[in-house]
């Protein structure tokens, strides 16, 4: 742990398909090690995922505290939703489960909130005031809401009801593949969703991340809304970096 210096912290990003980790320089947002990935276990139960967390830390020889981005609502370390993980996680103190497994302090945060923290500190939201909405388009739609740089946690705006659907069912990146849509047709769905969020929150800036942000040139030019919209800058590292930022000091 100490070989990386005082600015080093360990971040784990847990997703529905993979669990990734790296050592991060929290003064720059740069990864100090490789980004190591292990498939998310199926079923993704607390015990199974704790085993993977132990393997991720061992790969990097990390023995200190850990920050962890998690695909669920997390309040004071306790899991409050289970859309993309096993239902056995509901009401579980995830901080405690992983702390016990690692014998080191672990703090959890919602994965979209973690990505948002990284973007606001080091990426497209750096030094941006007002209301900034970070939206991740992947398997679902994650959201991170910031007011003058301060996080409003667990917004879960991918689950807004829109046109009779959970919004992410039609507008997530996975929906484009599932419904075999062109980028233009999918962008029309995203635009409809963004207009809805825009009407509710009147943000100063949208930052769009997740898997779809890698191909932003294919669909962002098709989006016509009143709010400024930019692609995320941190790409695949956002969740790991954001998780490292909340690791206990």
2 has a pLDDT exceeding 70: no
Percent of the chain with pLDDT over 70: 99
Q: What is the pLDDT of residue 83?
A: 75
Q: Which two tokens stand for residue 55?
A: 């393997």
Same fold, 2-113+238-245 and 127-233: yes
Task: Please give the CATH topology (third level) of the domain spanning 2-113+238-245.
Answer: Nucleotidyltransferase; domain 5 (3.30.420)
Q: What is the pLDDT of residue 46?
A: 96
Average pLDDT over residues 31-47: 95
Model confidence pLDDT, tens digit, residues 91-142: 999 999 999 999 999 999 999 999 999 999 999 999 999 999 999 998 889 9
SS3 category, 53: helix
Nearest residue to 113 (alpha-carbon basis) of 238, 27, 248, 249: 238
247 has a pLDDT exceeding 90: yes
Query: What CATH code would you report for 127-233?
Result: 3.30.420.40
Spatial neighbors of 207 by CB under 8 A, at least 6 apart, are 116, 119, 123, 124, 125, 132, 133, 134, 135, 229, 230, 231, 232
Confidence of residue 145 (pLDDT cuts 50, 70, 90): very high
Q: What is the pLDDT of residue 74?
A: 96
143 has a pLDDT exceeding 60: yes
Domains of the chain by residue range: 2-113+238-245, 127-233
Q: Which two tokens stand for residue 157?
A: 């705006």
Q: What is the pLDDT of residue 8?
A: 96
- What's the mean per-residue pLDDT of the chain? 94
Q: What is the pLDDT of residue 10?
A: 98
Q: Which two tokens stand for residue 249?
A: 């000091």
Q: Which contiguous run of DSSP H or E holds residue 189?
A: helix 183-201
């Amino acid at each position: 742990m100490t070989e990386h210096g005082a600015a080093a912290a360990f971040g784990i990003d847990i997703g529905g398909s993979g669990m990734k980790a790296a050592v991060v320089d929290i003064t720059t947002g740069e990864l100090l090690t490789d980004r190591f990935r292990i498939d998310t276990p199926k079923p993704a139960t607390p015990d199974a995922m704790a085993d993977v967390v132990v393997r991720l830390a061992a790969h990097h020889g990390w023995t200190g505290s850990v920050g962890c981005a998690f695909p669920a609502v997390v309040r004071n370390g306790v899991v409050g939703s289970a859309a993309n993980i096993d239902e056995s996680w509901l009401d579980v103190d995830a901080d405690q489960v992983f702390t016990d497994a690692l014998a080191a302090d672990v703090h959890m945060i919602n994965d979209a909130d973690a990505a948002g923290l990284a973007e606001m500190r080091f990426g497209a939201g750096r030094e941006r005031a007002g209301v900034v909405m970070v939206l991740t388009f992947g398997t679902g739609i994650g959201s991170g809401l910031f007011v003058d740089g301060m996080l409003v946690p667990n917004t879960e705006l991918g689950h807004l009801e829109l046109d009779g659907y959970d919004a992410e069912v039609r507008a997530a990146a996975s929906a484009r593949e599932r419904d075999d849509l062109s980028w233009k047709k999918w962008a029309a769905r995203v635009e409809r969703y963004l207009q809805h969020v825009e009407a509710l929150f009147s943000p100063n800036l949208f930052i769009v991340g997740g898997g779809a942000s890698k191909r932003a040139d294919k669909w962002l030019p098709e989006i016509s809304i009143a709010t400024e919209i930019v692609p995320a800058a941190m790409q695949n590292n956002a969740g790991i970096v954001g998780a490292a930022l909340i690791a206990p000091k």
